[in-house]
Structure 1
Amino acid sequence: MWFIDTFQPKRLVIRALDERLSIRLGIRALGVLLLLWVLCALLIMLSLSLGSYPLSFEQLSQALFGGASSESVNTIVWSFRFPRVLAAMLVGAMLALSGAALQSATRNPLADPSLVGISQGAGVAVVLATVLWPEGVEAWRAWLALLGALVIAGVIQWLSGSRQGKGSIRFILMGIGVAAFINAITSALMTYGKIDQAMSALAWLSGSINGVDWSDVGLLAVWFAVMLPIVMTVSRAMPTLAMGEATAVGLGVSLIRLRTGLICLAVGLAAVATAVVGPLGFIGLIAPHITRRLCHSGSGLQLLICASVGAVIVALADLLGRTLVDPIQIPAGLMTAMIGVPVFILLLRRGHAAQG
């Protein structure tokens, strides 16, 4: 049974199990989430219909419901465009959640997997395997990326520690320095590796979603389905970090366990997304900022909105990248940077104007 609380007209209250379970949701936040899901559906339809071989609404409907007019239309929709747009949305959602978890753990709005070395750690592991062990990289790419991201995250955590504890600013600065060092190692591997292996690594490093298939979608979907409930469970304690360490400890929160868990979740989400499509910058950075400007709600619903924002950004970036200068395809990683940098600058300027 659910109803709108008359004492709080802007909230939707869901009660169940003889009121032992009670959930309060913001009406505006639910509206924003629904709007984002509608936008995702619209982007899926546009991605399936637009491209070098445009499809009419009738052709698309026939292909989706098993009555394609030709085998080529069926192949275009189901073998190329559908897995591509689904992979883009899953990757965007995972990177957005990774950024939100990292920003909460470090209490720093500038934290992002691509800025603090986590994405670079996943990337250098995959590039190293591509150059030194090309025959086995496809089968072990996701696990190599996860291992590389975990190692780099551990190194950054260790380097950012001091006698006074671990500061968020120190963590960000150490992450930026380690990321620059890893980028140098990656460049060296590509410079002195074989040309075919270097070109394969370069295509992956550009963050291209071109070439993903249903097996990649399955991998992303499984990881997302496993990690989303964990993130939602941990989200109940995330607001306490913003209140300060003393308040969080007073509320019974174990700071070490919570921060370690959030960083592990951020690493896992970013590593798997990076393993499939390569590094995509700025998604984990701007998606939480956009979410906070769209609406304010409970942490769980806020994370769902954040994931939806990330899905929309990457799907839109991939769609623009393959249609703006068709038949040339711009990698999604370049498009996310083109979209993310202006948006981030605008957010910073508005933030400074509000403070002023």
Structure 2
Amino acid sequence: MRTVAGLVTLAGSLAVAVTIGPADIGVGDVWSAVAAHLGGGPSRLTPIRDGIVWNLRLPRTLLAAVCGAGLAVCGAVMQSLLRNPLADPFVLGVSSGASTGAVVVVVLGAGGGALSVSGGAFVGAVCSFALVLLLSHTLGATTDRVVLAGVAAMQLFSALTSFVVLTAADAQTTQGVLFWLLGSLGGADWNDVWLCLTALAAALVVCLGSARTLDAFAFGQDAAASLGISVARTRLVLLCVTALLTAALVSSAGAIGFVGLVLPHAARALTGPGHARLLPVTALTGAVFLVWVDTLARTVLDPQEIPVGVVTSLIGVPAFVLVLYRTRRALR
């Protein structure tokens, strides 16, 4: 029932969010444009208004929904896998690696024009995760050492990013890079939507198939192993799935913080700890949340746009303090 309600809320949020902006567009106009592009007959909109809906607002709003769902799901999986309520998708250093890859392409011109910002970000994210796997394997892949390896990779790539940004030739380039690093959906197109949606669908299939395994991890690695679960293999598979999904999302939208940290706790309050119910509700909660955050970010100071990551941080920090407070009470 909660999943159905979430789907209805998400569909309504998408339809309404696309109408919000300087151009006067209604929900009926949105459905008309979508139907026309899906083969349902000619659109009743003018070419300009149709382009605003189909080429600008709709892909951006859909990408916000996909990124919100994906980051929230990754956060839920990481919190269960590492048995840490404060874990999020960026704990493996993926966002820092993506940032380094992006600024290397923009500032240093790596790839000779053949590699886009998104491509460079994805390569950097994968390199960062590979370093985490190497370090954690060298140290002995316990959950604590995985987190420590992630922190080390995060600090390394953050330092590299800062160094590259300082070498930027002009202030305009630096400003553009910093805006992307804070999270931005302004450059969204249909290629980004399909890429991230495919990655999200594949990750959801794997994570939902591992729902009972994730439930067992809540009782500790020893308990999971006693149930016949291959702890090392399962952890490696789920870490790779969440890291690659996070890399795809960050490469398209930049580093949008706090979604993967806070939203799983909100969904867990609605469904309980069982992952078969938790993961779908977490995905829908994250999708609806980021759709409205992005709508706020692009309209509140119109025509100036606020980076999405700034808005999620302003909302997420108080929620994070609440999570810390509840965690402290639970440990007493």
State the TM bucket, normalised to the shorter chain. Answer: 0.7 to 0.9
Provide the rounded CA distance (Å) in 2 between the counterparts of 1:152 and 1:65. 42
Provide the rounded CA distance (Å) in 2 between the counterparts of 1:35 and 1:49. 22
Higher helix fraction (1 or 2): 2
Provide the rounded CA distance (Å) in 2 between the counterparts of 1:297 and 1:248. 16
Question: Are residues 53 and 354 of structure 1, via their aligned partners in 2, closer, same or farther at CA, if it must alter by over 3 Å?
Answer: same
Q: 2:183 aligns with which of 196, 203, 207?
A: 207
Conserved? CA contact 2:16–2:27, under 8 Å: no
Q: Deviations over 1:227-281 (max 9, x none)?
A: 3212222223111111222221111111110111111011101000000011111
Q: Which residue does the alignment assign to 1:15?
A: none
Question: Are residues 162 and 220 of structure 1, via their aligned partners in 2, closer, same or farther at CA, if it must alter by over 3 Å?
Answer: closer
Question: Are residues 352 and 65 of structure 1, via their aligned partners in 2, closer, same or farther at CA, if it must alter by over 3 Å?
Answer: same
Q: Which residue does the alignment assign to 1:16?
A: none
Task: Tell me the CA shift for residue 354 of structure 1.
Answer: 5.5
Please say if 1:189 is aligned against 2:159: no
Local SS of the residue matching 1:237:
helix
Q: Which residue does the alignment assign to 1:52?
A: 22
Q: 2:77 aligns with which of 87, 101, 110?
A: 101
User: Which ranges of structure 2 fall in alignment gaps of 5 or more residues?
Assistant: 37-42
Structure 1 consecutive aligned stretches of length 4 or more whose deviation exceeds 6 Å: none
Provide the rounded CA distance (Å) in 2 between the counterparts of 1:57 and 1:307. 24
Q: Which residue does the alignment assign to 1:172?
A: 147
1:1-356 matches, within 5 Å, as: 31-66=1-36, 67-133=43-109, 139=115, 141=117, 144-160=120-136, 165-195=140-170, 197-296=173-272, 298-353=274-329
Conserved? CA contact 2:203–2:242, under 8 Å: no
Local SS of the residue matching 2:23:
coil
Conserved? CA contact 1:126–1:137, under 8 Å: no
Q: Deviations over 1:199-225 (max 9, x none)?
A: 442232121101211111121122223
Provide the rounded CA distance (Å) in 1 between the counterparts of 2:113 and 2:327. 43
User: Which ranges of structure 1 fall in alignment gaps of 5 or more residues?
Assistant: 1-30
Q: Which structure has the larger Rg?
A: 1
Task: Tell me the CA shift for residue 292 of structure 1.
Answer: 0.9
Question: Are residues 329 and 112 of structure 1, via their aligned partners in 2, closer, same or farther at CA, if it must alter by over 3 Å?
Answer: same
Provide the rounded CA distance (Å) in 2 between the counterparts of 1:244 and 1:354. 17
Q: Deviations over 1:148-190 (max 9, x none)?
A: 3333234334545687x54434443443343233222211101
RMSD of aligned C-alpha atoms?
2.5
TM-score (norm 1): 0.82
Provide the rounded CA distance (Å) in 1 between the counterparts of 2:22 and 2:326. 39
Amino acid at match of 1:240: A
Provide the rounded CA distance (Å) in 1 between the counterparts of 2:81 and 2:273. 19
TM-score (norm 2): 0.88
Q: Percent identity?
A: 33
